[in-house]
Amino acid sequence: MSLSFTELVGLELAKQALLLLAVNPALTGAAIAAAVGSGKSTLARGFAALLPSGTPFVELPVNVTEDRLLGGLDLEATLTAGRRVIERGLLARAHGGVLYVDGLNLLDSDVVARLLGVMADGVVRVEREGLSDVHPARFVLVGTYDPADGEVRRGLLDRLGLIVPFAPQTDERLRAEVVRRNMSASGSGATNEAFEDDATEMLRAMIADARERLPGVRIEEEQIRALIHTALSLGVEGNRADGFAVQAALAKAALDGRGAVDDDDLRLAVRLVLLSRATRMPEAEDRRKADDHPQTPERGEEEEGKDGDESNAAPEPESQQIEDLLLSAAEAELPKNLLDLPFAMQRRGKSGSRGTALNSRRGRFVRAVEGDPRENRIALLPTLLAAAPWQKLRMQNEELRKGKRILNSRFSILSSDIRVKRFRDKAGMLYIFVVDASGSMAINRMREAKGAVVRLLQDAYVHRDQVGLIAFRGRQAQVLLAPSQSVERAKRELDVLPTGGGTPLASALLTAWQMARQARERGIAQATLVLMTDGRGNVPLQVENGEVPPAAQAQKAQIQAELQKLAALIRADRINAIVIDTQANYLSRGEAPKLAEWLGGRYIYLPNAKAEQIAKAVS
């Protein structure tokens, strides 16, 4: 038995967000960031029990197909009725209720675009495979995700009123309570279930009462102005967040049974709406805006103030007092590193595209072609249309009817009729950093490479790019970061960067080539190798019994031959290459430019390379 909404602990802010969303659908949705195993999915599914009876709660899989998302031809019903029957998709089924996504950051870019369009219009337009229909689709979106797997696309986050920031669970007592409650739930009896049912019913009643009270809740102009000034001080972009903050404060007041918004409501609105959208820390001048809102004293007050002391000065505007209060609360909640917030991380993302590529798995359906149904998705309507002209002839051929697969007694389909779907999707880029971790400059090279990896990952969500990191030292290369879009994962897995030893450059090229080939099988057609090295390899790829050949000249010739062969493989696979020479000019023997020539790539001389320079040169 899983824990109910009221039993879960450690996700109090997420609970508050969902309760506000249940009260005020104008908030449009909630995104909840939490680590794997924290109970975020259980909490979201438990949210369904708090909604009025009959409210739809639809789960959207991250690998959803376009026909399931939008709707399409119901083949069985069509064949039975003898006319086209359109089946509603998941978005239309969620109308009037909740659409839930577990793994919000893993949604395909095309699915996100469709979802944003439906959220903006409130309807689903089915225009595909000869079908045309419109279904209403107004719902609130609840999404959960683990930031270690990548960030949610900014366009989608911007549409959701409530964003619960990621907060690692470090409270020992709270973690112990989580374990205790899980153990209790696994052996709970009817008494516990009855108690939880009562708690759930109480929450449902509170939500229903708050919904009735919401239209009459008041918010003062000074409070609205304070929220807007707080948003400006945090660098929140756009006006949508201002409206969400006001709606969140109103919902909190209604949930607490009050008819007017107070300071606690405003603070919660800042936490759930504005903080995750912050792109900068409040500056000193943001704390005082009195000059921007001067108060003109009455004539009598002006004369009296000339002879009076400071106690007779005009009082501070009420909105300024509230803003100071909200900024103090916001500063206490802001992380030390603003890049831990999704909007600050994605602010530097650039629009654009790496181009598009046809594939058989995901993206926008563009055409139907002949193909193997075991390896592709069948395009039903094109398949039926291809088979239709031949039905009369096939039904007259008794031998054909007996020997071939028949859909029903009146319709036969041959393998030559089958059409499969082709999709067009963004063609992401894989950046493979290959860093020389040997020698005296290794520590500096690795540190700057890590910084460049993180900077590139901050833009990766726009283009579907991924970044991997390979270090080479000692006898062979080592994959430190498998291809990823996650800044959090990069920071975590690159904390320890080994350095020192020999320079197995050939092993590094082989490992990078294998990583690029594997990425191609997963649909990433373009790859760029970024080699940070002086181009000098001293460990051959082929070593007998683990020993380096004794003759230095023979070893050098073997290494050079291996590098040339591997470079030819990389060039033949059309893998882009950039060689960043980190060696001081007076020590260079021209190995790095020669390596760049073999790879057919670019050569960049950066002896004191900084992370910003590397990222700029690569992108």
With 0-12 CB in 10 A as exposed, 13-18 as middle and 19+ as buried, what is 227? Answer: buried
- Where helices occur in 187-317 by DSSP H, the ranges are 190-213, 221-233, 240-255, 263-269, 299-307
Which residues lie closer than 8 Å to 269 by C-beta, 6 or more apart?
A: 227, 245, 246, 248, 249, 252
- What is the phi/psi pair of residue 37, to 5°? 80, 10
Collapsing DSSP states into helix, strand and coil, what is residue 526?
A: strand
Is residue 240 part of the annotated active site? The answer reads yes
Q: Are 226 and 323 in contact (CB under 8 A)?
A: yes
Distance CA 246, CA 307 (A): 42
Q: DSSP readout, 349-393?
A: -----S-EEEESSSSEEEEEEE--TTTS-B-HHHHHHHHGGGHHH
- DSSP conformation class of 464: T
- Supply the DSSP symbol for 305: H
DSSP letter string, 320-358 = HHHHHHHHHHHHHHS-SSGGGSHHHHHTT-----S-EEE
- Which one, of 108, 115, 114, 109, lies nearest residue 142 by Cα? 115
Helices 552-572/591-599 angle, 10° precision: 40
Give bridge partners of residue 479 from the DSSP assignment. 470
What residues contact 420, with CB distance under 8 A and at least 6 apart? 360, 368, 369, 370, 371, 372, 373, 376, 377, 378, 379
Tell me which of 68, 125, 204, 240 is the catalytic residue.
Answer: 240
Q: Which residue has the tokens 């990069």?
A: 490
Task: At 484, give phi and psi (nearest 5°).
Answer: -150, 155
Angle at CA 528, nearest 5°, toward 524 and 534? Answer: 155
For residues 471 and 478, is the Cβ–Cβ distance under 8 A? Answer: yes
| 133-136 long-range Cβ contacts below 8 angstroms, 24+ apart | 133/71, 133/86, 135/71, 135/88, 135/89, 135/91, 135/92, 135/95, 136/92, 136/95
Catalytic residues: 240
